[in-house]
Amino acid sequence: MPVGTRGSVKGLTPAQLQDVGSEIILANTYHLALRPGADVVRDLGGLHAFNGWHGPILTDSGGFQVFSLATLNAIDDDGVSFQSHIDGAKMRLDAATSIDIQQKLGADIIMAFDECPALPAERATLERAVERTIRWARQCRDVKTRDDQALFGIVQGGLNTDIRLRCLEALVQLDLPGYAVGGLSVGEDPLEMAACLNAVAHRMPADKPRYLMGVGRPIDIVRAVAAGIDMFDCVMPTRNGRNSFAFTEAGVLRLRNAKYKLDDTPLDPTCDCYCCRTFSRGYLRHLFLADEMLGPIMVSLHNISHYHRLIRRIRDAIASGTMTALVADMESREVVGDNPS
């Protein structure tokens, strides 16, 4: 899922996203609640009418901002008190408020409010976060009134398998339409994350979507699918694209490097996106050095196309029984290009 934090995948139109294969996008409850406000989005017809995206939309709960804006919030058993990162205004977010905002936004999939602890964390910290996450998920289920929105629960527990499985067991008892793994890719070693997923993902309900939140390195996606994960989102394709990093089959290219000055080849000769069909590496490098906005737009578009092609490749590997070989191939080529991340 490409990430449209404030209702827009930066620099890209809905038509461009559809052209490269996007079927669902993500938006952010916390940020949209601040600007323009959930009531504004509701009064303008909901997110689909508001941003022109007529496919499915998923909104997160705002729980991740408990982690990412830790210096601006105070957590208690009932919710989180925020200080707006925009103007310092006070804001309270809890299970009921998060669901109210998401119902006004009108997304198709909404997320239960949760606590995402920073890693590494003491066992007591993880257990407290999981207790809150379970309680808040139950509250979210109970206050939700719209039948046209699917509520997903979020499994927390850091890298502790026992705590993760305890959280999962409690959430499964709520019989929600889908389940997510949260609280990973927050500073831990990627192999630790993979080990955690290998222990937890296959224990999630097999007949409901399994969603890994905020994980975006291609090698991590491949490993996670092998563990049993179905859905992903991350800002990495577009954020890296805006900063001149292009994902290709040959590795990651940093287009500001001088070696691309006279390079007349496409970003990725195996890619058929508009960027690769139209522009050379040398031209794209020029756009970044000249601060022309077309450069970040085109590389962001290409990166999203690359991720969709990766997912299609994974699907083919599953169907042909070659997933193990795909993981091995990706791991053998992990450190390639100008920047491996």
pLDDT band at 340 (very low <50, low <70, confident <90, very high): very low
pLDDT digits (tens, 9 = 90+) for 3-30: 999 999 999 999 999 999 999 999 999 9
Q: Which domains does the chain have, with CATH numbers?
A: 14-234 (3.20.20.105), 239-332 (no CATH)
pLDDT at 187: 87
pLDDT digits (tens, 9 = 90+) for 32-56: 999 999 999 999 999 999 999 999 9
Total Cβ atoms within 10 A of residue 151:
20
Mean pLDDT rounded to a whole number for the chain: 95
pLDDT of residue 168 exceeding 80: yes
Amino acid type, 172: V
pLDDT at 333: 84
pLDDT digits (tens, 9 = 90+) for 277-288: 999 999 999 999
Stretch 294-312: mean pLDDT, rounded?
Answer: 98
pLDDT of residue 339 exceeding 60: no
Catalytic residue numbers read: 60, 233
pLDDT digits (tens, 9 = 90+) for 82-130: 888 888 888 889 999 999 999 999 999 999 999 998 899 999 999 999 9
pLDDT at 66: 62
Question: Which H/E stretch holds residue 110?
Answer: strand 109-111
pLDDT at 336: 63
Stretch 212-218: mean pLDDT, rounded?
Answer: 95
Total Cβ atoms within 10 A of residue 177:
13
| Torsion over CA: 4, 6, 11, 13 (sign) | positive
